[in-house]
Structure 1
């Protein structure tokens, strides 16, 4: 079994969210409410806020669940969530604001504005720092803690002693050091601390009255807190069955990397202000802000296959269909601005590891139906072609469907992991019969893979066919004697 694929107040509205449509903010549940409540249950998310933006307005803003588990306090539309690294998107806007003022160019070397940098850092540009292609050593230590025990000078002294991780422009590697330097640059060029610059030039302009900088140490009214499903024990992260309290502390100098807390509604207003020309006056500035960095090999680099590029503080979802920019933070908060669609979605949660970016596209599907996962959106190109063919011929004719596709294109091929992933997607969509045919096809295409037999056995067992499930688990174990899942299921099904 491939685990990668199985882990699949009304007054407030009037005062703070003037763009909110009253019709969409009513308490009447809709299909999105049902979808999100199911996701919260599946992922053990205590509290979640969502905002949907179209035509320059927030058409849906709603809060769900429990903001404070210790005292059983329900989430409200005033509950404030940490957005963690989405803070970097605000920094990208701040840098472009300074560029519009003529105070810098993103192609300038950082050394033009920051003194006493190591020689190897001298030619690294602001753009390379913003896009995590700088090669700078990371200011976080092996335990993911900021160096220097909260002291900026001590932290910078330590990180400056480390070698570059690679030559600038060669790779994408997420890095916090550059954002600390950007904070110093914003402070120097604006004449005010970077936190105040962002507050004055973005929070206030967008009407974000609840949004602020802070961390777990600060007393924050209406804070939704932070929870986690993992606990660090004996050098390992152990997953629990219920959430526990997480503690996050961001030194002030580090708050260009993470440190903003907000509501989904106010984040929605920030997007409206940005797209409406209130934060950046030139369209070329927004285009630069959202344009992913091109590496020296001509490719883009990002976190994963979804957020596969990185622009100026903004991860990008670079794809042919419904591309987006998609800042994410702390594995708990995300927002997608769909570049070719009049649609933006913000999802904030208080659970680290809830990864809402993984289901924002599905929320988008309620407004753009072709984006629903059940309609094939997000599948790899070869799988999409196979899906179209199977919808014509029937899933029980998968072998002939593949033969037809190969006849049309001799280079047509199906990736084992892609097929496996689609099978589990179909299971999640409660299409067990269709899923079974895909796992059976994967076994036929990859008969030497232990994982294909393991997955096929799992679905057969789910459908009550224990005899054939046992046969497939045995084949899987024969190919991979270390397959613990297959060994365990064989014991159970054999009654041993």
Structure 2
């Protein structure tokens, strides 16, 4: 009887644990779904696919919104999305596969593999091309158009006539020419077109049944199409009018250019690819994967990348180089991104059909549903000084921000609060409806940077948020005094000065 009772207790404990685990997983999925839908609403994102890989398995696969706005067709996991420059990550894998086959070494000069290169190009290394540190002139113009009207020979002739832009390794500069050259190297060493080499050695091996090369001129079954909230005007990306936020995005890439951008895929296929990559099916050697994901060091010893988030660049893979939860993070076309968190055994893929969605800026927050310390609400992403300040403010109140910051500065010479970081944190607090806390940080920013027109502009907005028009106008006026060209301040003063 005692044995039966003990066995019953163990059975109930296991069953309860399993049920609790299921409930936790469902709660997390529900929370992620709510978060994604909020991001889509705020960003006017028509359609989105999500895949989350945890411990080598797909933990969540979801589809949201519309794959086609014109005909109101819902997104499914079968819809194919353009991943644009995420294609470069596949090129990095292809190069490392050739390295494992001992057909090249990534530190070899490209002159070893390509004939008829300008003299200044011949000593550039494969690694410098992959990491965008080569200094090569770009084969696209300021309007994102391929040179030579998209004709391969004309584009190649035109770009070879341009000068090197900087000494190799001196800085990071995003460059498409290097990837065109890498395509030529893959063609030569593999004996097949680079598209075929990638299809055979990655798509097929990983089971990526819906993934292909292509663009808007191709007839693609289940295509999610493309929409945009931005437009290129005189070489600058500008937001579309809020009254007409969406436009159709037509993209066309010559075949020779498709190592730079040319793959279309699904979140599920991308998840299968990441699992295959991390399980040794695509690269056999552990050191190959480590090399693939190691960001380049410039001649000054620093890493460099697109921005403060994707702040490094490895072999076709942008990196999020930081102490807490570092990641490798291919991004593409302002529309799609994936983050691999190697230390956390977690990967997240977000594909959208909107140019301007920039999902890389909210993927960390999705990761926070698995790793709670990654939530912005818990201070993730703040500098060490800001985290120290946040801890004290939570104890003593945000209204004491100015004296608390001054005390921390006096106690610690390394304590430093940057204006842009304070400003970003304040706007985040405002987005979470913590307007009084945001206002306190705006006030602190002005106290620390009293000659900054932008600080006063933001403080004006902070007062506007809490309904204090008089103070808002006062601070917008101060901003104008410091910067007479601040049209936003002038517009806000005119708006706030109108009588109801």
Name the residue aligned to 2:94. Answer: 94
Aligned to 2:241, what secondary structure does the other structure show?
strand
8 Å CA contact 2:86–2:337 kept in 1: the answer is: yes
Give 1:274-285 correspondences, 5 Å limit. Answer: 274-285=277-288
Q: Equivalent residue for 2:389?
A: 386
The Cα shift of 1:454 comes to 1.7
Q: How far, CA to CA, are the matches of 2:275 and 2:23 in structure 1?
A: 19
Q: CA deviation at 1:410?
A: 2.7
**Displacement of 1:219 after TM fit?**
0.2
Cα pair 2:385 2:417 within 8 Å, conserved: yes
Q: Which residue does the alignment assign to 2:241?
A: 240
Alignment of 1:304-383 (within 5 A): 304-383=307-386
CA contact (8 A) 2:92 2:315 kept: yes
Look up the match of 1:444: 447
Aligned to 1:205: 205
Give the secondary structure class of the aligned counterpart of 1:250: coil
Which residue in 2 is equivalent to 1:49?
49
1:19 aligned residue: none
Residue 6 of structure 1 is matched in structure 2 by: none
Task: Give the gaps of 5 or more residues in structure 1.
Answer: 1-21
Matched, 1:195 2:198: no
2:304 to 298, 301, 326: 301
For residues 160 and 221 of structure 1, do their structure 2 counterparts lie closer, same or farther at Cα, with a shift above 3 Å needed?
same
Query: For residue 143 of structure 2, what is the aligned residue in structure 1?
Result: 143
Hey, what's the Cα distance between the residues in 2 that align with 1:23 and 1:447?
51
Are 1:134 and 2:134 matched, yes or no? yes
After superposition, the Cα gap between the structure-2 partners of 1:98 and 1:291, relative to the gap in structure 1 and judged at 3 Å, is: same
Name 2:470's counterpart in structure 1: 467
Once the two structures are TM-superposed, the CA of residue 451 in structure 1 deviates from its matched residue by: 1.9
Residue number in structure 1 paired with 2:3: none
Q: What's the offset of the Cα at 1:459?
A: 1.5
Q: Is the 2:143–2:235 contact (alpha carbons within 8 Å) kept by the matching residues of 1? A: no
Partner of 2:115: 115
Query: Greater shift after overlay, 269-278 or 178-187?
Result: 178-187
Residue 433, structure 1, aligned to residue 436, structure 2: yes
Q: Secondary structure at the match of 2:66?
A: strand
Number of residue-to-residue matches in the alignment: 475
TM-score, normalization: structure 2? 0.92
Runs of 4+ in 1 over 6 A off after TM superposition: 22-29, 233-236
Farther off after superposition, 192-201 or 455-464 = 455-464
Q: Is the 8 A contact 1:180 1:257 kept in 2?
A: yes
CA contact (8 A) 1:231 1:240 kept: no
Question: Comparing 181-190 with 284-293, which one deviates more in the overlay?
Answer: 181-190
Q: 1:294 to 1:472 in 2, by over 3 A?
A: same
Measured after TM superposition, the shift of residue 143 of structure 1 is 2.1
Q: Which moved more, 1:133-142 or 1:122-131?
A: 133-142
d(CA) in 2 for partners of 1:432, 1:211:
45
* Mean Cα deviation higher: 166-175 or 381-390: 381-390
TM-score, normalisation: structure 1 = 0.92
Preserved CA contact (<8 Å) 2:143 2:234: no
Shift of 1:379: 1.2
- Superposition RMSD on alpha carbons, in Å? 1.9
How many Å separate the matches in 2 of 1:233 and 1:105? 41
Q: CA deviation at 1:25?
A: 11
Shift of 1:470: 2.2
CA distance in 1, matches of 2:331, 2:23: 29
Q: Which moved more, 1:478-487 or 1:158-167?
A: 478-487
Aligned mates of 2:289, 2:239 — CA distance in 1? 42
What CA deviation, in whole Å up to 9, does each residue of 1:391-426 have, x standing for no partner? 122111112211331232134221122111111011
1:486–1:233 distance in 2 versus 1, CA, 3 Å: closer
Q: 2:489 aligns with which of 469, 483, 486?
A: 486
Offset of residue 238 of structure 1: 5.5
Shift of 1:150: 2.9
Q: Classify the secondary structure of the residue corresponding to 1:247.
A: coil
SS in 1 for 2:228: strand
CA distance in 2, matches of 1:410, 1:226: 50
Partner of 2:175: 175
Instruction: State how far apart, in whole Å, the 2-side matches of 1:383 and 1:472 are.
Output: 24
Q: CA deviation at 1:452?
A: 1.7
The answer as to whether partners of 2:142 and 2:235 remain within 8 angstroms in 1 is no
Q: CA deviation at 1:234?
A: 8.0
Q: 1:329 to 1:232 in 2, by over 3 A?
A: closer
Q: In the alignment, what sits opposite 1:272?
A: 275
1:271-305 per-position Cα deviation (integer Å, ceiling 9, x unaligned): 00000000000000000000111111111110011
Partner Cα separation in structure 2 for residue 475 and residue 468 of structure 1: 11
The answer as to whether partners of 1:49 and 1:347 remain within 8 angstroms in 2 is yes
